[in-house]
Chains A and B, each alone.
Chain A
């Protein structure tokens, strides 16, 4: 089954606005990680949230996790044009699992 389904598939906002992306998954997890990928480039690790955590902050990023709903959200506040990228969530499948399963990502476009 597909883990880490991001929603929406594409999001276009103006600079200064907030952007919220959602991720749903199907099985238990140990942790959930969010990554950013600029077109044609590698993945940049943004944040890891463990299954016993509900919220985590890093700079302009805020991640929430609801294990009862098997969902997570990534909020980027005061967006900048440089935030334009694809954003992926990745889950590890819980237990002794370690391999990350990625969704197809949300393409965020921040217009100057």
Chain B
């Protein structure tokens, strides 16, 4: 049973470009969460999605960030017009329900130059 998959593992973008991060949840999981980890800090919740629905995006910056989890395919976290402050590790987690274990992927390390 494959774990949570994320790609790419490392992403370098210049300021102003778009970053697109992908997450495939564990088999049988329909709940996806995105978290961001800034250097020397713990993880911070960004958004919670179920298939085709954004349930809670209270942790997402109001501008430039968006997320989706389509009926088919992976969940996508999109960051438009990236800035240096967006440099961080972005982790995706999945679970089979809201009060079950959240299993994390290996993360995507975004570097904005």
A interface residues with partner B (beta carbon < 8 Å):
4, 30-31, 33, 35, 40-45, 48, 88, 90, 92, 96, 98-105
Contact = CB atoms under 8 A, between A and B. Distances in A.
Nearest to A103: B42
B45 A42 contact: no
Interface residues of B, number: 26
B48 A99 contact: yes
B19 to A, nearest CB: 18
Contacts of B99: 30-31, 92, 98
Contacts of A35: 104
B42 A88 contact: yes
Interface of B: 31, 33, 35, 40-45, 48, 56, 58-59, 91, 93, 98-107, 109
A96 B42 contact: no
Contact of A43 (B48, B98, B104, B109): B104
A92 B107 CA distance: 21
B103 A45 contact: yes
B56 A100 contact: no
B99 to A, nearest CB: 5
B43 A102 contact: yes
A48 B101 contact: yes
Given A99-B45, A102-B43, 9 more contacts: A30-B99, A40-B109, A48-B100, A90-B43, A99-B48, A100-B33, A100-B43, A100-B93, A104-B40
Nearest to A89: B42
A104 B42 contact: yes
B104 A45 contact: yes
23 contacts: A4-B42, A35-B104, A40-B109, A41-B106, A43-B43, A43-B91, A45-B103, A48-B101, A88-B42, A90-B43, A90-B102, A92-B99, A96-B98, A98-B56, A99-B33, A99-B56, A99-B59, A100-B45, A100-B93, A101-B45, A102-B43, A102-B44, A103-B42
